[in-house]
Chain A
């Protein structure tokens, strides 16, 4: 199965490597050539330098025969637009898009885009962590009359 991973930063490169380890044919796309180094010396997949708003770059990355796409550049709006273009122009149903802003992630999720919001995840984890704290109850005292 073929996957295209757009944005090869900390998140994108790790997703690309993991998918490759699981047997996917992966092509990563990044604006910066230096991002290739993040994929490690033994990277067997493809790598395309360029901006994913350019159709030619998507095509060179093999979007036309992709089964899945992960869009995780540093720009929320770029991810949202590129994700929708991949979904609508190339008919790929498995398009996963990183959106840091929870409101935008929710808005586009309702409209059929598979968004993943790390900020929302962090909020939930932080809240759970606080709730799980073992806080000693304060010494009981008589309520103060106002």
Chain B
């Protein structure tokens, strides 16, 4: 595949290295002269100096071919959004993956049609939630395009689900239990699976149903 990586900081340089190791053709665009020089030394002629939000720079990077994927991974959210929009809407690039630096900007990416995003801070916040659970429900994965999410809950002794079979639970529609983990061993949840106190249960659901799922399982 042909791929353009816009932004040659730690994220962009590592993404480019991985893609090259996978055998793909890559152009890596970096705006800052000092960073570009270091990248050129490491990557050779696939490094390109310029502002990837400028159309003529993207054109030199081969946006007209077009690439299979553009990774907009600079440290600036507005830049990433503009790069992704120009790639997708101006040049018919089938896929643009944008980095969200400030999670509060996620809503702008969603609103402006850049649905494939990665946010390291949100990921870390998710881990914090996972390690320091407060509300009994941890969001493990968000499948934005599919409109689904995967969550995990810890069952307590007084939870409504404790001691019940999966088939006997009154779960909201658009919720499925995926697995039950007991003493570190996970099993696929089926109708006969009995949920015990201390179990960690993973479920897939439509966003918005977290509270009713929590009430049904954890209480």
Interface residues in B, total, Cβ within 8 A: 20
Could you give, for residues 88-110 of chain B, a 1 whenever the CB lies within 8 Å of some chain A CB and a 0 otherwise? 01100000000000101101100
Given contacts A54-B104, A101-B54, A103-B54, contact A80 B82 (CB under 8 A): yes
Asked if B90 and A107 make an inter-chain contact with CB atoms under 8 angstroms apart, the answer reads yes
**Chain A hits for B78, CB < 8 A:** 53, 75, 77-78, 80-81
Any B CB within 8 A of the CB of A13: no
B82 in complex: contacting residue of A53, A54, A55, A81, CB < 8 Å: A81
Q: How many Å from the CB of A57 to the closest CB on chain B? A: 11
Of A23-31, A39-47, A84-92, A120-128, the one contacting chain B is A84-92
**Chain B hits for A75, CB < 8 A:** 78
A104 in complex: contacting residue of B55, B102, B104, CB < 8 Å: B55
The secondary structure that dominates the A interface is: helix
Q: Which residues of A from 29 to 78 have beta carbons under 8 Å from B?
A: 53-55, 75-78
Q: How many Å from the CB of B100 to the closest CB on chain A? A: 12
Any B CB within 8 A of the CB of A131: no
B112 in complex: contacting residue of A53, A55, A85, CB < 8 Å: A85
Asked if B86 and A53 make an inter-chain contact with CB atoms under 8 angstroms apart, the answer reads no
Asked if B77 and A53 make an inter-chain contact with CB atoms under 8 angstroms apart, the answer reads yes
Any A CB within 8 A of the CB of B21: no
**Chain A hits for B108, CB < 8 A:** 53, 81, 85
Residue of A nearest to B77 (CB): A53
Given contacts A77-B76, A111-B89, contact A85 B111 (CB under 8 A): yes
**Chain A hits for B54, CB < 8 A:** 101, 103-104
Any A CB within 8 A of the CB of B81: yes
**Chain A hits for B56, CB < 8 A:** 103
Residue of B nearest to A85 (CB): B108
Q: How many Å from the CB of A55 to the closest CB on chain B? A: 7
Any A CB within 8 A of the CB of B79: yes
CA distance A55 to B81 in the complex (A): 17
Residue of B nearest to A102 (CB): B55
**Chain B hits for A80, CB < 8 A:** 78, 82
**Chain B hits for A54, CB < 8 A:** 104
Given contacts A75-B78, A107-B90, A111-B89, contact A81 B53 (CB under 8 A): no
Residue of A nearest to B82 (CB): A77
CA distance A42 to B86 in the complex (A): 42
Residue of B nearest to A103 (CB): B55
CA distance A80 to B82 in the complex (A): 8
Residue of A nearest to B90 (CB): A107
Given contacts A75-B78, A77-B53, A77-B81, contact A107 B86 (CB under 8 A): yes
Closest 9 CB pairs of A and B: A77-B78, A103-B55, A77-B82, A81-B78, A78-B78, A77-B79, A81-B81, A85-B108, A84-B112
A-B contact list, 22 entries, CB within 8 Å: A53-B78, A53-B102, A53-B104, A55-B107, A75-B78, A77-B53, A77-B82, A78-B78, A81-B81, A81-B82, A81-B108, A84-B111, A84-B112, A85-B108, A85-B111, A89-B111, A103-B54, A104-B54, A104-B86, A107-B86, A107-B90, A111-B89
